[in-house]
Structures are given as C-alpha cells and as structure tokens.
Amino acid sequence: MKTWITILWTLLPIVGAALWFGPGAELRDRADAAAWIEKGQSAYAEERWEDAVLAFTEAHDLLPEDATTERARVRLDEAEARIQAGEMVEGQEILAAVLDELETSGADAELATSVRHALATSSYHAGWLMRLEGATPEEWLPETERARQHFRLLAESHDGEAQGAFAKNLEATIRLEQMDLSDLQALPLPKDCSCNCNNLSQRKRHQQKSRSRPKEPKDARDEVKKEQGAGLSKREGSGS
C-alpha cells in the first residue's frame, strides 16, 4: 500500500504538468479570454473605446482556432469599439471579414445577421459623414450602396418586427442618397453615429488606393539567380 502511495505521489507532478501544458492550457486561455471580454464590455459601457478595443483583441487572440462562433462574436465587439473610437475603416474591414467567414462556415446565422446589420449601419453612417465632409458622389455612393444591399437582404430574410425595422433602415438609406446636401447639413447626426471619424473621406481614399495598387513585378534577375543557384546545387549533389 505504501509503495502505491509513493508511486502516485511521485507521478502527481508529472500528471499535473501534463494537465497544465495540455488540456489545462486551453482551459486557462478560455478563462483569460472570458476575463478580457468582461473588461471589454465594461470599457465599452463606459465609452472607453480604446480600452475596449484592446480587451477584445486580447480575448480574440486567446480563444482557440476552432472556437469559430466565440471568435467571431469577439471580433464583432472589437469592430464596433473601433468604429466608436473613430477607426471606421478598420472596423468595417473586420466586419466584412467576419461576415464572409460566417457565411462560408454557416456557423451561426443569428450572429451573421448581427454582423451584417453592424456593417450596414456603419456604411450608412460612413456615407452620411463623407457627404458632410464634401466627398464626391463617386466616393460616398459605394458606402450607401453597400448599406442598401445589406439592409435589403436583412429585410427580405426576416419577418415581423425585425423585417419592419430593417425596411425602415433601407428607406432611410435611400433618403440619404436622394437628399440635398443643404438638407442633410441641417440634420443632427444619427444618435448612434460616432462623431470621432474625422477625415473619413481621406481615409477611404487611402483604402481605395491600397486596394487598387498593383503588385510590384518580380525582378527577373532574382528569379534567374535562384534558378541558377538551384541548378548548381543539383549538379553538386548529383556528382557527390
């Protein structure tokens, strides 16, 4: 009996280490992620946008790769915090990426609806702000067009009260496109629209340029050198 107790006592640190660095590691990461999410939610409620962004980013990095829904939900929170912090472009890029992932995986239809609504709303606000900044129709129309498409899809895929709400958002987007600038200037910003997005039109121009910038062509001389080097190595290897 004493022998077995001695053996078990000796193995206890090994078992503990295995749990700590094995299944226990994921449990710790999930617990830490939950703590960061709670911090992020508190910061968001207190309008400490940058703190919220940091907390949600930390939580996302801690969650395992296979936690698709949890990671997408945290990314949604991060994107909304970034938009409130004035990072409209970055927030929209996150929302678009998350929506694409959710539609591809079909992981959570309800969450996909929330992400699509956030993207549509941010696009509506972006179009409004860009018009006030004096952007050309060619610059702000893609934003309102994206908002229209998403709101229409949401309205068509829901019924009841939700459909009515999405339909009203669609109508508001159409009015925004058709409204005279002087009438728009006389209106207050939407209540849920952050006014922190200064120079949004300029940021959108930079985004568009980065997307349309062609990739630099590879230097053919570098490719020739690589091929020559590979050929030399093969010849040396075959002769040994």
Whole-number pLDDT of residue 120: 98
pLDDT, tens digit, 9 for 90 and up, residues 172-187: 999 999 999 999 999 9
Q: pTM (2 decimals)?
A: 0.78
Q: CA dihedral defined by 63, 67, 72, 77, rounded to 10 degrees?
A: -40
Which carries the bigger pLDDT value, residue 40 or residue 24? 40
Q: What is the pLDDT of residues 78-104, one digit of tens each?
A: 999 999 999 999 999 999 999 999 999
For residues 126 and 204, what is the distance between their CA atoms, to the nearest angstrom? Answer: 10
What are the extents of the domains in the chain? 88-205
State yes or no: pLDDT of 113 exceeds 90: yes
pLDDT tens digit string along 42-61? 999 999 999 999 999 999 99
